[in-house]
Structure 1
Amino acid sequence: MASCCNHEVAIETLRGRQRRTLQITLAINAVMFGVIAGAALYGRSTALLADSLDNLGDALTYGLSLYVVSRDRTAKAWVALFKGGLIFLAAVGVGAQIVQRLISPAVPLFEVMGLFSLLGLAANGTCLWLLWQHRQEDINMSSVWECSRNDVAANISVLAAAGLVWLTGRAWPDLIIASGLVLLLLHSASRVLVSSVGELRAAASQRPSANS
């Protein structure tokens, strides 16, 4: 009996730590979405816009993850499936923006790109550090970790694009980096979707049959 109680206390302690981490990362990403989206529109940067959409997707993801912290593995798998869909939609949105920039070319402001990619890198690096300890706890937290890692990669990519725009005075580095981010988002979406579908199948196989 004591062992059972200790196990329940340990689980609740773990969930409490997960909630605190998700609350902090949710707040960071919600703020960064507004800041970076405004900078992307002002600076005419598709790569920076992709970065901001990633922050928006993460803010929604962390909110959903917070909701299912105390729920069963099936609920967590369904939310992870939804997260994968959000990542995929973000990739589609950035792809549409790339097409729009190809039709109506505009050289982005590399100063804005560089400054706000550094700001985003600091914010998302903090999130990644906070989530590191939770990355293998369950599918809910592992999918959150996946999103946060994407953010850091996106920030570094946008910073590289800013440097290339400064060197060349042209828009193509911004579009190339944005295209790379689309591929990263698609890859991440596929990983999350496959993991969540596998988790749902595993949960379904463990349910007692109607005849038993």
Structure 2
Amino acid sequence: MAKSCCEEKSTELEALRERQGSVLKWVLAINAIMFFVEFGFGVFSRSSALMADSLDMLGDAAVYGFSLYALNRGSLWRARAGLSKGLVMAVFGLFVLVETVSRLLAASVPLAEPMGIIGAVALIANVVCLILLYRHRADDVNMRSTWLCSRNDIIANVGVLGASVLVSVTQSGIPDAVIGLSISFLFLKSALTVVQEAKTEMRSIS
């Protein structure tokens, strides 16, 4: 009976990892594609907020790659992946912070229409990712950190859309810079949360 129970549990865990892997592959592909789309239009429209969001997409693609790599490597590897993702998020948060301050000092005014259109496309993409990840958000620290990344993306996308409207109305680059700064602070806060959770799990395992 005990052996049968263990085998059943092992089968359940294997099925769970397969479902997680399938979801991670989808969100990885979506974020990688959206990085190139957003970054290209961010450069074209001179938008700090859009470029920040594109770097978020790139960071998330790396995050999902870490998650996929660690998926079948045990609890310690999944905790290490969570720690790595937290550090990646922190790096991108600092990069966005520096980039936004630079554009603010240069008094650059972005093109509002491309900002709005691509921001809306990115929002749809991230809602799809969030829906895919939702059922796995409490599986372990690896999947929780992945879900947090997707949730933050939606907040950032809404900010980009709001900034595009304000840039259009005011013809100023300040709303774009404010959203860029907000996204960077959001990255840094989430990074701290993920790193703390990963360290706690690594201590409990060791």
Task: Give 1:176's aligned residue.
Answer: 178
Q: Distance in 1 between matches of 2:4 and 2:200?
A: 34
CA contact (8 A) 2:104 2:173 kept: no
Task: Give 1:90's aligned residue.
Answer: 92
Which deviates further from its counterpart, 98-107 or 122-131?
A: 98-107
Task: Give 1:76's aligned residue.
Answer: 78
Structure 1 unaligned regions, length at least 5: 205-212
Q: Distance in 1 between matches of 2:108 and 2:22?
A: 42
Q: Distance in 1 between matches of 2:180 and 2:105?
A: 15
Q: How many residues align?
A: 204
Task: Give 1:208's aligned residue.
Answer: none
Query: 1:63-109 CA deviation, whole Å, 9 max, x = no partner?
Result: 11011111111111111111001100111111111121133221100
Q: Distance in 2 between matches of 1:66 and 1:196?
A: 16
| Corresponding residue SS for 2:138 | coil
Query: 1:143-177 CA deviation, whole Å, 9 max, x = no partner?
Result: 10011111111100000000110111111000011
Match of 1:141 among 118, 140, 143: 143
Q: Which consecutive aligned stretches of 4+ in structure 1 deviate over 4 angstroms post-superposition?
A: none
In the TM superposition, what is the alpha-carbon distance from 1:122 to its structure 2 partner?
0.5
Letter in 2 for 1:48: L
| Corresponding residue SS for 2:7 | helix
| Corresponding residue SS for 1:135 | coil
Task: Confirm or deny that 1:31 pairs with 2:10.
Answer: no
TM-score, normalising length: structure 1:
0.95
Q: Distance in 2 between matches of 1:81 and 1:105?
A: 37
Q: How does 1:1-16 map to 2 (within 5 A)?
A: 1-16=3-18
Q: How does 1:1-212 map to 2 (within 5 A)?
A: 1-204=3-206
Query: 1:4-41 CA deviation, whole Å, 9 max, x = no partner?
Result: 11111100000000000000000000000000000100
CA contact (8 A) 2:104 2:174 kept: no
CA contact (8 A) 2:101 2:177 kept: no
| Corresponding residue SS for 1:15 | helix
TM-score, normalising length: structure 2:
0.97
RMSD of aligned C-alpha atoms?
Answer: 0.7
CA contact (8 A) 2:79 2:202 kept: yes
Q: Distance in 2 between matches of 1:99 and 1:154?
A: 17
Q: Distance in 2 between matches of 1:58 and 1:179?
A: 18
